[in-house]
Amino acid sequence: MKQILDNARRIAIPSIRLQQEKTKTANLAFGLVKEQTSKYQEIVAIEFGGSYSKSTWLPDKADIDIFIKFEKSVSEEKFIELAKKIGFDSLKKFHPYVRYSDHPYVEAKIQGTKVNVVPCYDIEKGQWKSAADRSPFHTQFMLESLTNTMRDEVRLLKVFLKTVRIYGAEIAKQGFSGYVVEVLILNYGTFENVIKAFANVKPNQIIGNASKGFDTAVIIMDPIDNTRNLAAAISVESIGKFVLACRSFLKKPSLSFFRPKMNSKISKKNLENVLVVTFNFKPRSPDIIWGQIKRAANSLATQMQIEEFNVLRRSAITNEKTEAALLFLLQSTRISELYTREGPDFYSETDSSMFITKNVKKSRIMWVNTDGRIHSLQKRNQNDAQLFLQDLLKNHLDKTGIPKGLKSDLKKGFKIFPASKITSKFIKEALTELVTTDNAIFSST
């Protein structure tokens, strides 16, 4: 294993040249922001944050976060207004745009690197006013706590998680954030120790010091806030993938766990029962559209389950520009034309009479079952999942549970395809993940 991890570090640790280039970009961006913040007395300080400031960034992905700290007396409205103005004025040469977390922030690309100008309040620890207020404390804590060796172990774990496709806290991933990775290395010391710990993880296992109970698959406590469970933002699916990947790596260590995987070839047989709903949407923040399409996929899956179409898996994907798709893997896209409706037992005169009156004309057969309940065999309104979805979205959109923000987009048009008809590259990538087995995780060797 030692040789594999030594080779993996060469993948995970940026070269001296790349570090110098990143520093040059960071200093350029910092200077531009500093020039603008000097015009506002409400700004107390500016500082680097995130993985760049902690030297835990990866060669292929290193956003530069610049935090502008506001006086705590500044109103939320002014906080947002000034933050956006400073961000746009600072990065105007680089085509800036607004991104959203709990508060909007400004992002641009400088020499291929994303630069984020993020507002926060200059407050005492624990006196949080905005969601970003913890970040400077996270940065300072990790600068004081991580050794140089541990920083490289953080990078190693990040690459491992990226390969398994569960690195990233954004709603699109619901995986492990960079800060969570740092916390895990801080708790366990090395990449190898983290892998061994998660290979044997117990339900609701607590990592760190918790001041109260939490109900998540695992509990990862924020070392600067013992009331905050960092794992609350990580999906059960991501935790499960990580646990299985850890076990698989320990059984058969391989450098393949640190190299991006080529897309697997999709079996046509696995696509037979997949339906894809595609539509265009009015441009909005990536964080907002991802949340909306994930909720839409869940809502439509629920509607299909009610009609007894068994949805095995669902997914949602967007190119973050104008196109989105909802994907559903069903046990079968067609089910029996007939179904059984179970009524009350015959002892209840009122209930049984109501059931008979309501259902007798629609019944192929009506009978008293061996359990004493009245049963009715009836024809379904629809036994084809594609036609069911078509009718649901066209004629009953307000009853679907789809987020209000998406309804106007869907009213303008949508298409439903069998997965075999999909040609779009980004949807095909989502299909691959939906209907293929990750052999690195699900390995018997």
Give the closest residue to 65 by CA, choosing from 39, 41, 101, 38: 101
Output the pLDDT for position 264: 64
Output the pLDDT for position 263: 62
Residue 3, in any domain of the structure: no
Cα separation, 414 vs 425, whole angstroms: 18
Output the pLDDT for position 142: 97
Contact 98, 80 (CB under 8 A): no
Q: What's the pLDDT band for 436 if we cut at 50, 70, 90?
A: confident
Angle between helices 385-395 and 286-306 (to 10 degrees): 120
Same domain, 197 and 98: no
- Edge-to-edge strands of the sheet including 64-70? 43-49, 64-70, 113-121, 104-110, 97-100
Residue pLDDT, tens place only, 304-347: 999 999 999 999 999 998 999 999 999 999 999 999 999 999 99
Residue-averaged pLDDT of the chain: 93
Angle between helices 286-306 and 404-411 (to 10 degrees): 80
Residue pLDDT, tens place only, 111-125: 889 999 999 999 998
Residue 351, in any domain of the structure: yes
Residue 419, in any domain of the structure: yes
- What's the CATH number where 52 sits? 3.30.460.10
54-68, 97-111, 290-304: lowest mean pLDDT where?
Answer: 97-111
Looking at 82, 106, 131, the residue that finishes a domain is 131
Residue 178, in any domain of the structure: yes
Give the closest residue to 72 by CA, choosing from 43, 115, 31: 43
Whether pLDDT at 287 is above 90: no
Which is more confidently placed, 64 or 442?
64
Taking phi first (over 0 means left), then psi (-120 to 50 degrees means alpha), and beta for anything else, what does residue 112 get?
Answer: left
Output the pLDDT for position 378: 96
Same domain, 284 and 359: no
- What's the CATH number where 227 sits? 1.10.1410.30
Looking at 215, 239, 258, the residue that finishes a domain is 258
How many C-beta atoms lie closer than 10 Å to residue 442's C-beta?
11
Same domain, 195 and 238: yes
Domain range enclosing 38? 16-131
Beta bridge partners of 280: 323
Residue 231, in any domain of the structure: yes
Same domain, 155 and 220: yes
Taking phi first (over 0 means left), then psi (-120 to 50 degrees means alpha), and beta for anything else, what does residue 147 get?
Answer: beta
Same domain, 150 and 250: yes
Same domain, 403 and 326: yes
Give the closest residue to 280 by CA, choosing from 394, 412, 403, 402: 412
Q: Which residue has the tokens 């531009």?
A: 32
Output the pLDDT for position 70: 96
Q: Which amino acid is at 105?
A: Y
Looking at 235, 258, 281, the residue that finishes a domain is 258
Residue 1, in any domain of the structure: no
Residue 427, in any domain of the structure: yes
Residue 10, in any domain of the structure: no
Q: Are strands 323-330 and 311-318 parallel, antiparallel or unpaired?
A: antiparallel
Beta bridge partners of 49: 65
Same domain, 92 and 36: yes
Output the pLDDT for position 266: 74
- Rounded to 5°, the CA angle 357-360-363 comes to 155
The alpha-carbon radius of gyration of the chain (Å, integer) is: 26
Same domain, 277 and 373: no
Cα separation, 433 vs 361, whole angstroms: 46
- Edge-to-edge strands of the sheet including 338-345? 338-345, 373-379, 363-368
Cα separation, 257 vs 103, whole angstroms: 35
Domains held by the chain: number: 4
Burial group, residue 19, by CB count within 10 angstroms (0-12, 13-18, 19+) = middle
Cα separation, 120 vs 350, whole angstroms: 64
| CB neighbour list of residue 214: distance below 8 Å, 6 or more residues apart | 204, 229, 231, 232
Whether pLDDT at 439 is above 80: no
Same domain, 328 and 363: no
Phi, psi of 147 (to 5 degrees): -80, 170
Contact 314, 328 (CB under 8 A): yes
Same domain, 277 and 406: yes
Same domain, 360 and 399: no
Same domain, 35 and 111: yes
Question: Which residue pairs from 70-76 have beta carbons closer than 8 angstroms and sit at least 24 positions apart in sequence?
Answer: 70/42, 70/43, 70/44, 70/119, 70/120, 70/121, 70/122, 71/42, 71/43, 71/44, 71/121, 71/122, 72/121, 72/122, 72/123, 72/127, 72/129, 74/42, 74/121, 76/129, 76/130
